[in-house]
């Protein structure tokens, strides 16, 4: 399972400022300062009074520790300032000042701890809900090995405007990759509706045209219930029959898939049908295409977040040109390689990004077929 890779790339040390656990060096900072200032005061004897620096330790402790640990460090600081053998000086007013700061720091640590507990609870519920909408991609569905790269553009979310799913049904393995209007949490409701319709259609519909019409109707119905809504989505549907070494593809205004055959990359010119949600399927029928597969063939389905990633000069990411340079027979390794290359190329990816790789277990094709 590869699609969480992109989320791990965002988990740098600065994430602790957004509620994640702080890195070790931040937790160690109050203790290091306490030991360092004490040692420096001993070294300078009475020439320099460094007691005022100790006032920074309780607030730093409140950022990373709970109220008990903050109280302990604050007590040590006050004790050092009060004892004549420590930082104590006749008429030293730092003791009262630091004691007041320590009490405030304990209160801040208590409030922060409660907030962190609530944040963890909310994030756990949110992640469970988002995983229910868009569960991790299985490594294999039927006779098809799968791997995916997925990244939501909105920071802190697991689901954005892109959606995908792979399901086995009576007619083989079917997959959808799509992109709804909008980004982030505002698109999650539309994504959930489309994926629910797809999972039902995989079981009920005899062909990809029927599956696409089911999703199209879902968006039309949702838009009719909200007069201000303008819901539409692009999507690519794939079908891998159990009894034939072929792939059927149907496009609803979506970027073309790619065929990776050995070192050769070919863009599959799937007829571009109308996007979902326009309700014109009867006026403009969508036409699928069928492609014969050979052993080792891989099909790549993507959203425009991949090909529209830009470098500093504004150039688009040339996926088709770079694919032959990735010596990755395993689908999961290929998605990892593409993600690392996109990050190196663009630096920051600002759009929802999805790339799915399908490696069907196609039987040997007789010569001349």
**Please, what are the domains in the chain?**
5-129 (no CATH), 137-360 (3.60.40.10)
> What confidence category does residue 282 fall into, taking pLDDT thresholds of 50, 70 and 90?
low
Identify whether the C-beta of residue 278 lies closer than 8 Å to the C-beta of residue 203: no
pLDDT for residue 219: 87
C-alpha–C-alpha distance, residues 259 and 244, integer Å: 17
Percent with pLDDT over 70 in the chain: 80
pLDDT for residue 9: 39
In this predicted structure, which of 4-18, 90-104, 304-318 has the lowest mean pLDDT? 4-18
> What confidence category does residue 313 fall into, taking pLDDT thresholds of 50, 70 and 90?
confident
Token pair of 339 as six digits? 């993600």
> What confidence category does residue 92 fall into, taking pLDDT thresholds of 50, 70 and 90?
low
Rounded to a whole number of angstroms, the distance between the first and last alpha carbons of the chain is 34
CB atoms within 10 A of CB 85: 6
pLDDT for residue 85: 58
C-alpha–C-alpha distance, residues 34 and 39, integer Å: 9
Strand order of the sheet with strand 353-360?
140-141, 144-151, 353-360, 298-302, 258-261, 264-267
Q: Is 294 helix (H, G, I), strand (E, B) or coil?
A: coil
Q: What is the DSSP letter of 276?
A: B
CB atoms within 10 A of CB 309: 22
- Using alpha carbons, select from 359, 298, 303, 344 the residue that is nearest to residue 324: 298
C-alpha–C-alpha distance, residues 130 and 134, integer Å: 6
Residue in this structure with the two tokens 């009920």, named with its chain if needed? 204
Q: What is the mean pLDDT of residues 246-274?
A: 91
pTM score above 0.75: no
pLDDT in tens, 131-149: 777 788 889 999 999 999 8
C-alpha–C-alpha distance, residues 26 and 44, integer Å: 27
Q: What is the mean pLDDT of residues 262-282?
A: 84
Hey, which bits of 84-154 come out as E strands? 140-141, 144-151
Q: What is the DSSP letter of 234?
A: E
In this predicted structure, which of 124-138, 164-178, 236-250 has the lowest mean pLDDT? 124-138
Residue 152: CA count within 13 A, CB half-sphere: 23
pLDDT in tens, 327-363: 778 888 999 999 989 988 988 777 788 899 999 985 5
pLDDT in tens, 145-172: 999 988 876 665 556 678 899 999 999 9
pLDDT for residue 211: 93
pLDDT in tens, 5-31: 444 334 444 455 455 567 778 788 888
């Amino acid at each position: 399972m590869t699609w969480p890779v992109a989320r791990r790339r965002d988990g740098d040390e600065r994430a602790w400022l957004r509620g994640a656990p702080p890195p070790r060096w931040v937790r160690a900072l109050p203790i290091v300062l306490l030991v360092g200032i004490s040692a420096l005061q001993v070294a300078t004897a009475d020439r320099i009074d460094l007691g005022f620096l100790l006032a920074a330790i309780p607030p730093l402790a409140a950022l990373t520790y709970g109220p008990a640990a903050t109280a302990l460090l604050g007590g040590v600081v006050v004790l050092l300032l009060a004892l004549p053998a420590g930082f104590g000086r006749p008429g030293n007013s730092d003791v009262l000042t630091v004691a007041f700061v320590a009490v405030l720091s304990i209160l801040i640590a208590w409030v922060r701890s409660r907030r962190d507990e609530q944040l963890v609870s909310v994030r756990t519920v949110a992640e469970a809900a988002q995983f229910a909408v868009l569960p991790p991609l299985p490594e294999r569905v039927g006779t098809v090995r799968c791997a995916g790269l997925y990244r939501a553009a909105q920071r802190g979310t697991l689901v954005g405007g892109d959606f995908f799913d792979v399901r086995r049904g009576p007619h083989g393995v079917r997959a959808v990759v799509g992109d709804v209007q909008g980004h982030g949490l505002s698109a999650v409701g539309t994504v959930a509706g489309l994926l629910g319709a797809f999972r039902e259609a995989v079981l009920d519909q005899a062909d990809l045209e029927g599956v696409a019409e089911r999703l199209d109707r879902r968006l039309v119905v949702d838009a009719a219930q909200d007069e201000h809504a303008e819901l539409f989505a692009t999507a690519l549907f794939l079908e891998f029959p159990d009894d034939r070494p072929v792939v059927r593809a149907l496009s609803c205004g979506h970027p073309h898939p790619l065929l990776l055959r050995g070192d050769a990359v070919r863009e599959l010119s799937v007829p571009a049908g109308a996007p979902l949600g326009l309700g014109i399927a009867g006026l403009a029928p969508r036409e699928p295409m069928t492609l014969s597969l050979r052993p080792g063939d891989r099909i790549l389905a993507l959203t425009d977040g991949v090909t529209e990633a830009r470098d500093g000069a504004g150039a688009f990411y040339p996926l088709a040109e770079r694919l032959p340079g990735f010596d990755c027979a395993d689908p999961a390794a290929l998605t990892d390689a593409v993600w690392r290359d996109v990050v190196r190329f663009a630096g920051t990816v600002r759009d929802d990004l999805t790339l799915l790789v399908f490696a069907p277990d196609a039987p040997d094709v007789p010569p001349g077929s």
